Chain A
Amino acid sequence: GIQVEQSPPDLILQEGANSTLRCNFSDSVNNLQWFHQNPWGQLINLFYIPSGTKQNGRLSATTVATERYSLLYISSSQTTDSGVYFCAVGENFNKFYFGSGTKLNVKP
């Protein structure tokens, strides 16, 4: 299967700081999503981004499919950004591979 590596595994930020999370994957994919898992366990869709760049408020993401990586940028972080960020990739509808996540702690 496709190997997905996320870095860093843990990140501590002071409120207001910026950060970049990375997702590397080992093979071509047709589907790439970034999720935020909140403290109650729900996975919230952030971006569907198999290629290109998207922005949504303080968050943006870029996927360079030819080089098999994706980046998630968080600017002006807030305490509510805390949680685990997952990257998930897939070739089709029938199999998705999750990275091990980046655990973010934003301190006030």
Chain B
Amino acid sequence: DAMVIQNPRYQVTQFGKPVTLSCSQTLNHNVMYWYQQKSSQAPKLLFHYYDKDFNNEADTPDNFQSRRPNTSFCFLDIRSPGLGDAAMYLCATSGELAGNLYEQYFGPGTRLTVT
């Protein structure tokens, strides 16, 4: 089945220690998104890629970076995690498929704990 995969599902890192979360997709979608979701809140868009074009949300901290080496993979790098960065990180994809233009599909998420 075509899907969005996130690894790891759970990640524990230390305060200030860089961490990378990964996302892969078999949907061949050209758009990939990273969202941050804190407890009892709605997902908040951090940035997205349209093909190789990177688009950062204005309020995304500089501490968050992303890489997309190819269509299938996208990475979220947190350079110096703080306690406030503990959250669920959701990857999503969308594409220009016939029918539902830019319908988003989400991965299962990575729950990040910062100690």
Contacts and interface: CB of A to CB of B under 8 A. Distances in A.
Interface of A: 30-31, 33, 35, 40-43, 45, 48, 86, 88, 90, 92-96, 98-101
Interface centre among B33, B41, B101, B104 (most CB of A within 10 A): B104
A84 B111 CA distance: 17
B104 A96 contact: yes
17 contacts: A30-B102, A31-B101, A41-B37, A41-B90, A42-B108, A43-B43, A43-B90, A43-B106, A45-B106, A48-B100, A86-B42, A86-B43, A88-B104, A94-B31, A94-B55, A98-B44, A100-B41
A90 B102 contact: yes
Interface of B: 31, 33, 37, 41-45, 48, 50, 55, 88, 90, 92, 94, 100-109, 111
B59 to A, nearest CB: 11
